[in-house]
Amino acid sequence: MTKLIIQIPCYNEEKTLPQTLKDLPRAIPGVDKIEVLVIDDGSTDGTVKVAQEMGVDHILKLPWHMGLARAFIAGLEEALRLGADIIVNTDADNQYPGKYIPLLIEPILRGEAEIVVGDREVTKVPHFSLFKRFLQSFGSKVVGMAAGMNIPDATSGFRAMSRQAALRTLVLSEYSYTLETLIQAGAQKIPVKYIPIETNPPSRPSRLMRSVMQYLAHSFSTILRIYTMYRPLKVFLLIGSLSISGGVLLGLRFLYFYFTGRGSGHVQSLILAAILSIVGFQICLIGLLADLVGFNRKLLEELVFKVRKLELEIQHLKEREHGIQRQADSGSGR
């Protein structure tokens, strides 16, 4: 039996949540059971009440407002605990039409991908400004370079994940999960596929992109941190090589003046060349150490994956034993 759980992270979404829930499919070919999970990220309005009135299957309440990234990963863990074979994440502001969910999970059902992302075709979105279209398109290319695969829409939150992909997903960022999970998927060679979708007109201003500068700062720091985590040798070798190259150029400059009889006035170039070369060499050594540490990170990721899987299997066995015990009790007339 294939079970699909549609998770919706929410923070003060009492006005937009009803339409989002109404738009979700109730039956999909190839899926035996569809359930909806609302993750309440410390809402102070009537979000939880609305979800209850709309008959949502599961509501996960976070202790306080923890941010979108934490809400996303908490939803994944809860969906896995609930026995999901496929997890679809969508936004509570009804940006993503529910009619695309069957198309979103189709590549997973066919075994063609483990993660499927809805491609908004950002260069064509009518309610995006020209500058925002450029930022989204350029940012997706940068993330694609970091992930080592073609990524047309890096910031789309409309995505489906198989159970195996969800078990391997780790989110360290407190800002957003979209960029980090794609770079992580590229590093782990997880098959990712994109399907083109349309979006509904915005129902409210974006809460993640309060300003262009804030968005750029958060996105750049996330890409740099995650890329350095998964490709440390490349990053440190590049920085070290730039430093060594600067040292070599200054050294050649000093030699030029030295052999032309004017070297006495350019000793500072020789000193700076030596400093840059030594620093560059040290940075390269740091890269080698970071690469070795990266092997430990891979082992830890595999350990987390196996621990998660084992915990879920133990939970399933306990629930099964509990069910058998209840049947035995009812059969004996207790």
DSSP per-residue codes, 191-210: -EEEEE---PPPSS--SS-S
204 plus 106 within the same structural domain: yes
69 and 179 in one domain? Answer: yes
The residue segments making up the domain with residue 186 are: 3-230
Residue that terminates a domain, selected from 230, 258, 277: 230
Task: Answer yes or no: do 257 and 141 share one domain.
Answer: no
148: which 2 tokens?
A: 């080592």
Residue 255 has a pLDDT of 85
> What per-residue confidence (pLDDT) applies to 313?
85
Mean pLDDT of 198-208: 72
User: Of the candidates 179, 204, 230, which is a domain's last residue?
Assistant: 230
- The total domain count for the chain is 2
Determine the Cα–Cα distance for residues 218 and 226; give it in Å rounded to an integer.
12
**Is residue 118 scored above 70 in pLDDT?**
yes
Residues 270 and 164 in one domain: no
Region 32-48: what's the mean pLDDT? Answer: 94
- Total-model pTM: 0.80
Same domain, yes or no: 220 and 256: no
Residue 17 shares a structural domain with residue 159: yes
For 246-283, what is each residue's pLDDT tens digit?
999 988 888 888 888 776 667 788 889 999 999 999 99
Q: Is 171 in the same domain as 64?
A: yes
Contact (CB, 8 A) for 83 and 34:
no
From 180, 198, 230, give the residue that closes a domain: 230
Do 108 and 180 lie in one domain? The reply is yes
Q: Above 80 in pLDDT, residue 209? A: no
Q: Do 56 and 148 belong together in one domain?
A: yes
Looking at the structure, do residues 110 and 161 belong to the same domain, yes or no?
Answer: yes
Are residue 200 and residue 162 in the same domain, yes or no? yes
Looking at mean pLDDT, say which of 19-33, 124-138, 145-159 comes out highest. 19-33
